[in-house]
A and B are shown apart, each in its own frame.
Chain A
Amino acid sequence: MIEIHNLTKDFGRSKGVFDVSFNIKEGEVFGFLGPNGAGKTTTIRHLMGFLNAGAGSCSINGLDCRKNSAEIMKTVGYLPGEPALFDSMTGLQFFNFIAKMRQKTDMSLCQQLIDRFELDAVTKIRKMSKGMKQKVAIVTAFMNNPDILILDEPTSGLDPLMQVEFDKMISEQKKLGKTILMSSHNFEEVEKNCDIIGIIRQGKMVCVEDIHSLLSKKKKNYTLVFASKSEAAKFISDKKFEIGTIAFPSVEVRQIDDFNALIRELQTFNIIEIQSETYTLENLFMQYYGGTN
């Protein structure tokens, strides 16, 4: 549904995006991760038709994002990274303005969203706080029930309660079969909501993978707590596993791909406790970004 092929846009000084490719199929939720300035928003700007691709192409529903953007926008809900709203309007005026521009004037969903996010929509946007403006942007993106959602850091500025509400809404949208691309800095949010993640670094995609297989196939680390220091010392001297930090009687073993082998080995030892280090997206992310930026 959303296809990006070898997209390149060079802004000079190694800024931009280089040879970016990924596909998002109908009904998939794509989590777009990367540090600030890595090229997430630049990629999204291409999808919105704001930029001409230097090389490569991007399309939505088979339509070229630059040439057919007006047609594409009939089915897209967009939430900009830094929403620039018409700040002389009130929230409600802005929703009506955009709805009329889209020629979709059924405002019932809009009203539901206003209630859901507890938005005070009669305040002038100029006088709203950052979080309030973000709510206005969220309502605008969702209010016309679009098939495709392009969300650039949708929860930035939201309080934790509203973040939970937003996550709920994403999973509802997912059930409705919506295709969603969302960039984020919030790993938990991406882990919870997304099927596929793409990690971009310095304008290049370093990883596009199914999030579940990605997390499950990763080697894991465990911390073993032995009954005595001598047991721990014996385990270490056997050198059968890669040893991490040692804090007698605790020993960390790393990069375990066969958990059963570890269990069998431990049968001869007197073990008090095994702690597994949960492998989160955050760990994975740090692994990709570790070292030089």
Chain B
Amino acid sequence: MKLKSLLLFDIKQSYGIFAVILGFMVMYLSVIINMYDPNGLEELIALAKFKMSSDMMDAFGFNIEKNASLISLITSYFYGMLIYFILIIYVIIVGNRMIVEHVNKGTMGYLLSTPHTRTKIASFQAVFFIVGIFLLLFILMIVGIIVSEISFPGLLDIKAFILLNLGMFLLFGMFSGISFLASCSFNETKNALAIGAGLPLLFIMINILSNVDPSLNFLKNFTIVSLLDTDAIISGGSFLLYFVIMFVSSFTLYFAGIKIFAKRDLSL
């Protein structure tokens, strides 16, 4: 591979954050799966209510029936919100490193003084970024399935769980697409972060607010998080159109980032 040394640099730079994020996600998911009780979730709900107000529980997406299934528990307690805050850290940090940090520091000057086009370098970084996110979710999914099968054999709706992870990957395709587009568009890290971190976090915050109170429910229309309809995925409803929209949006964001980077003036 022509850019093998860049790949090795990227890996060396980001394996630490990758391991930490993966560790947090695996730990939380395992704990939450083991909180499940096939005989009813009264104890868990009571404990949660004891710890936090019902508003907070709604905000965090911890709204669950007493006789909910394992997949409902996982969706509500982990894929409802916690995962956003963990995985977005990876997106923000690594997205920033992909392009704008090299431009801001000036090291991009050295990358571009080698016989590789800007399009090639940006595309390579884009693939590295998205593959990293894919691997995080893929490993998380495998661990989730294994932990469930060990603790509660046969109780996890594996098909729904896989679709849930695929949906999460597509949603983070958009988040990372925004981050990557920002990374490609600015000369300075702080400007890229304002958009690349600010916008995804804003979407996540809007999603939380929209859950707090029925009167704020209209806010759902202003966040891309709504495109991931977890209820539809669990209950076998229609989600395919949303998946297609998320895929096309992600692709467009990355593509636009690469195009902009290939065309613009660089402060090197």
A contact residues vs B (CB 8 Å cutoff): 45, 48-52, 69-71, 73-74, 76, 78, 80, 82-86, 88, 96-98, 100-103, 140
Contact = CB atoms under 8 A, between A and B. Distances in A.
B116 A98 contact: no
Given A50-B266, A70-B115, 13 more contacts: A48-B113, A48-B268, A50-B112, A50-B268, A52-B264, A74-B115, A78-B109, A80-B268, A85-B110, A97-B5, A100-B4, A101-B6, A101-B116
B107 to A, nearest CB: 5
Contact of B107 (A45, A76, A85, A100): A85
A86 B107 contact: yes
Contacts of B265: 50-52
A109 B139 CA distance: 45
Nearest to B265: A51
Contacts of B109: 48, 50, 78, 80, 84
Interface in B132-168: none
Contact of A102 (B4, B12, B114): B114
A76 B110 CA distance: 12
A51 B109 CA distance: 12
A82 B267 CA distance: 12
A75 to B, nearest CB: 9
Contacts, number: 69
B112 A69 contact: yes
B205 interface: no
A96 B6 CA distance: 11
Contacts of B117: 69-70
A98 B114 contact: yes
B107 A84 contact: yes
Nearest to A140: B110
Interface in B1-29: 2-6, 9, 12-13
Count chain A CB atoms within 10 A of each CB in B106, B113, B117, B264 and give the residue with the most.
B113
A49 B112 contact: yes
Nearest to B107: A84
A271 to B, nearest CB: 58
B209 interface: no
A48 B109 CA distance: 9
A103 B115 contact: yes
Nearest to B116: A70
B9 A86 contact: yes
B105 interface: yes
B115 A71 contact: yes
B120 interface: yes
Nearest to A75: B115
Nearest to B109: A80
A51 B106 CA distance: 14
A238 to B, nearest CB: 61
A134 B38 CA distance: 67
Contacts of A45: 268
Contacts of A96: 5
25 contacts: A48-B109, A48-B112, A48-B113, A50-B112, A50-B266, A51-B265, A51-B266, A69-B117, A71-B115, A73-B113, A73-B114, A76-B113, A80-B106, A80-B268, A82-B106, A83-B106, A84-B109, A85-B110, A86-B9, A86-B107, A100-B4, A101-B3, A101-B6, A101-B111, A140-B110
A73 B115 contact: yes
Which 7 residue pairs across A and B have the least CB separation, nearest first? A84-B106, A100-B5, A101-B114, A70-B117, A78-B113, A50-B268, A50-B266
A45 B268 CA distance: 7
B50 to A, nearest CB: 48
A103 B6 CA distance: 12
A261 to B, nearest CB: 54
A48 B115 CA distance: 11
Contacts of B120: 70
A278 B105 CA distance: 44
Contacts of B113: 48, 73, 76, 78
Interface in B93-139: 105-107, 109-117, 120
Contacts of A51: 265-266
Count chain A CB atoms within 10 A of each CB in B2, B13, B115, B263 and give the residue with the most.
B115
B130 to A, nearest CB: 22
